[in-house]
Amino acid sequence: MNRAQQALYEMKQTDELAMMDSPVHRFSALSKLMVTVIYIVTVMSFSKYDFGGVFMMALYPYLVFQLSGLSFKLCMYRMRYVIPLVAFVGIFNPFIDRTVMFQARFLSVTGGMISFVTLMIKGILCLCAAFLLSGTAPVDEICGALRRLHVPSVFVTVFLLAYRYMSVLMEEVAVMSDAYHLRAPRQKGIAFETWGSFLGQLLLRSMDRAQELYAAMQLRGYDGEFRQTGNTKDRSVSFVWFVVWTAVFLILRFVPVASLIGNLFVRQL
Amino acid sequence: MIEVKNLTFAYEKEKPVLHDISFTVKDGERIGLIGANGAGKSTLMKVMLGLLDGEGSVIVEGIPVTQKTLAETRKKLGFVLQNSDNQMFMPKVYDDMAFGLLNYGMNKEETEKKIDEVLSSMHIEYLKDRYNHRISGGEKRMAAIATVLAMEPSALLMDEPTSALDPKNRRMIIQIINDLKQTCIITSHDLDMIMDTCSRVILIDEGRIIKDGPAVEILRDRKLLEAHGMELPLSLSRL
């Protein structure tokens, strides 16, 4: 399987995950989308040194992974290319911020180290939340939820079409890449001098296919609005899901739960 | 009834792809549109569907195909694309079948009922909840036909419905076409399939109608077929 095929497989696998049946899958996409957005905003709002607070926010992905049956391992695997980017953003923190925050035996823990770890956890948690959303709600339902939030139709349609056409593009890359490597078996990638014609062909081929796909949509009455086929989810339970998690996030954000738990242990000791 | 009158189309002004094409298709008729590669068969279908703007007119059940009537005429004319991957763009067969129905204002309950009805009539109920990328080429072709049939078109236009299919799936598609009650216009190089499914054939070459007549007559005419880049159907060439 070449890389494009792998990427295509992962996209289609995400579609399949979103169609699974679990308590979380049964909630409406709107409530899951809102919870995810509030979660990400809450996680990002913690200060860069609030390691404990951010750590407590792992409660949400932990419980949703348990309830939805989605695999945390798969989530980590999907993030394999993004995590290094998150790490890169904070990698210089330990060198810039050298204020010693506390001493752990022989190791002086600096503000930079804490902010780096906090940033990493923030990044991973947000990516987990995004993965959980895409793995528990099909993309067309997410788009439907965006429309219910009055996001302009043009943005939602562009997003949905981009998602659909991405697979078309990937398919063409996969086919062209196979055809290339069959005639260039000793090359690892695509030779630099061939990039121009490869990309040109890719563009033309994917445009052709995209046009045909669009024609297929037009012929079945597509008028710029995607209508949903998903079953109407239990709105009251979905609302409870939204309210409960929003309350939990607010508590975790404004009450120092990590410190309280820590103090409890310290007193017992 | 479908009437095509003096249809001319050109991608570039100086090089028309279709020249003054005229023919009439009666209700329930099966027509095979044959011709060598590049003869203009697929372009003719696209112009008939209003996907390309040509000169002349196409009238479907008394309604001329124009920009204003596209929604109406496209509901009457179903189109099965040559590449089913392009026709099946939703994750599941069910979603794809529902796409057109919901666009034409059917509610979810009616949609579900209609989908079950069509799948059952084609004996492919098992495909309903299957993922498009997990079904075989033959199943995908059948599902693609089902997506179009669900919209209850009065006529079906099929572009190479048996291309790239194994013999078993090819036979199944032929069976499905023969069971259809709708008017059918089928383009194909599979002349044996055309012979099995169509009573009338239109031979096109370089964008012009060369001959329009009974399938048996045209498909047995070796000279005519060879003069226009085609060969006798395999079943006849053995005789």
- Tens digit of pLDDT per residue, chain A (269 long)? 677 788 888 888 888 899 888 999 999 999 999 999 999 999 999 998 888 899 999 999 999 999 999 999 999 998 888 989 989 988 888 888 888 888 877 888 888 999 999 999 999 999 999 999 999 998 888 988 998 899 998 888 888 888 888 888 888 888 888 888 888 877 778 888 888 999 999 899 888 888 888 888 888 888 877 776 655 566 788 999 999 999 999 999 998 888 888 887 777 66
**Beta carbons of B103 and A12 less than 8 Å apart:** no
Kindly state whether residue A114 falls inside one of the protein's structural domains: yes
Does residue A117 belong to any structural domain of this protein? yes
Beta-strand pair B77-80/B155-159:
parallel
Number of compact structural domains in chain A:
1
A161 within some domain? no
Three-state secondary structure call for residue B148: helix
* Subunit contact A216:B87, Cβ cutoff 8 A: yes
- Alpha-carbon distances of B88 from A119, A231, B20, B80, B141, rounded to whole Å: 42, 20, 33, 10, 9
- Count of CB pairs separated by less than 8 Å, A with B: 71
Give the separation between CA A174 and CA A176, rounded to whole angstroms.
6
Task: Note whether residue A68 is domain-resident.
Answer: yes
Please name each of the domains of chain B with its CATH number: 2-84+155-237 (3.40.50.300)
Interface of B with A in 129-158 (CB under 8 A): 131, 133, 147-148, 151
For residue A166, the chain B residue with the least C-alpha distance is B89
Digit-coded pLDDT (tens) for B206-234? 999 999 999 999 999 999 999 999 988 88
How many Cβ atoms are within 10 Å of A20's Cβ, its own excluded? 13
CB atoms within 10 A of CB A22: 15
Domain that holds residue A100: 20-137+234-269
- Beta partners for A110? A100
Q: Does B89 touch chain A (CB under 8 A)?
A: yes
- The pLDDT value given to residue A209: 86
Within-domain flag for A188: no
> How far is the C-alpha of A228 from the C-alpha of A11, rounded, in Å?
20
Q: Is A241 inside a domain boundary?
A: yes
Cα of B46 to nearest chain A Cα, Å: 9
> What is the C-alpha separation between A130 and A124, in angstroms, rounded?
10
Q: Is residue A186 part of a domain?
A: no
Cβ–Cβ of B91/A19 closer than 8 Å?
Answer: yes
- Best residue in A209, A219, A225, A232 for a mutation probing chain B (most B CBs within 10 Å): A219
Cβ atoms of B1 and B27 closer than 8 Å: yes
The CA distance from B226 to the nearest CA of chain A, in Å, is 31
Q: Which two tokens stand for residue B191?
A: 């002349």
Cβ of A219 within 8 Å of Cβ of B49? The answer is yes
Q: How far apart are CA B239 and CA B234, in angstroms?
A: 9
Within a domain: residue A52?
yes
Q: Which residue of B has its CA nearest to A219?
A: B74
